[in-house]
Amino acid sequence: MPGPDGPADEQVVLRLDEVQAGYGKAALVLRGFSVEVRRGEIVCLVGPNGAGKSTVLKVASGLLGVRSGTVWLNGADVTGAKPQDLLRRGLSHVLQGHSVFREMTVEENVMLGGYTVDDRATVMDRVEFVKSVFPVVAERWGTTAGLLSGGQQKQVEFARALMVRPDVVLLDEPSMGLDPKRTAGMFEQVSRLREAGVAVLLVEQNARRALEMSDIGCVLDLGRVFVRGPAAELLADPQLGDLYLGGRPGGDGAAAS
Ligand SMILES: Nc1ncnc2c1ncn2[C@@H]1O[C@H](COP(=O)(O)OP(=O)(O)OP(=O)(O)O)[C@@H](O)[C@H]1O
Ligand SMILES: [Mg+2]
């Protein structure tokens, strides 16, 4: 457990400890939820609709406060910090269903991500970085973003999130609205984030596919962690497959009768 100075382990980028959170007077959504994301690691959060996956990401990025529990970022207690403070401290959140500003160019969209950076040289340096990670951003730099395909727009959105050179990125359903080919491309982009040393907390409807590329899997149900472990172990668990991953691999998805 972390002491008063935060998690001792420097490899831990983001950590939620026994978080309780909810909306207004309604019942709590998270009832003692904990998760840890380490440097260069992809942690995949799985669970049924309404389980609280997006709520976890909102708590982590400061969009939603906690009733109790602690949020740690790079070893500092950031519980109650505002989203823009967390952005400056290295956390970037790509929201569910959110997308680019369609009437603005790719350049303008990406540059929005750099608004917290004062130094021009650093901004240009990061532009080169995101162009190298996302080729479409380089190729369509001057294009109006609304003219790009859905998958290309996703890349622009990712690029914007990377302009702050985050230590950790929160991705909420990045494959939403993408066809299978574009979904595969999106997963490839997420892998590249890991290669670039960025930690990723990923929420995905394509649970099985997402776990295949993740290091750690975490199943959330009824506001708590149902099970957590190496992603490969979760994938191999037949009971989890039936309950949370849309059936067993190669099966028809139906529970045994
Ligand atoms: N802004 C809000 N105000 C009130 N209740 C909310 C709000 N957002 C979410 N909830 C409630 O919190 C619970 C968890 O929602 P959340 O969006 O975290 O689920 P989720 O696991 O991301 O689901 P999905 O897979 O459908 O995206 C749900 O019962 C939902 O109705
Ligand atoms: Mg959600």
* pLDDT tens per residue across span 7-56: 568 899 999 999 999 999 888 999 999 999 999 999 999 999 999 999 99
| CA-wise closest residue to 31 among 256, 215, 220, 229 | 220
The pTM of this model reads 0.88
Q: What is the model's pLDDT at position 22?
A: 97
pLDDT at position 7? 57
Give the pLDDT score at 184: 86
d(CA 97, CA 105): 20
For ligand 2, the distance from its centroid to the CA atom of residue 99, given in whole angstroms, is 15
For ligand 1, say whether the CB of 57 is within 6 Å of any of its atoms. Answer: no
Q: Is the pLDDT of residue 161 over 70?
A: yes
Please report, rounded to a whole number, the percentage of residues in the chain having pLDDT higher than 70. 93
Ligand 1 neighbourhood includes 22 CB (under 6 angstroms): no
Give the domain ranges of the chain.
12-244
Cβ of residue 29 lying under 6 Å from some atom of ligand 1: yes
DSSP SS3 for 172: strand
Residue among 201, 163, 157 nearest 13 (CA): 201
Tokens, residue 56: 């976890």
- Looking at CATH, the fold of the domain delimited by 12-244 is given as Rossmann fold (3.40.50)
Ligand 1 and 97: CB distance under 6 A:
no
**Cβ atoms of residues 32 and 223 within 8 Å:** yes
Alpha carbons 73 and 111: distance in angstroms, whole number: 25
Helix (H) or strand (E) holding 21: strand 12-21
CA of 21 to the centre of ligand 2 (A): 15
Q: Which residues are CB-contacts of 76 (< 8 A; sequence separation ≥ 6)?
A: 6, 89
Q: Is the CB of 55 under 6 A from ligand 1?
A: yes
Please write the tens of the pLDDT for every residue from 236-252: 998 888 888 877 665 54
Residue 78 has pLDDT above 50, yes or no: yes
Residue 61: is its pLDDT beyond 70? yes
Testing ligand 1's pocket by substitution, the residue of 19, 20, 28, 29 carrying the most ligand atoms inside 8 A of its CB is 29
Q: Which residues contact 57 (CB under 8 A, 6 or more apart)?
A: 45, 93, 170, 172, 201, 203
Decide if pLDDT at 99 tops 60: yes
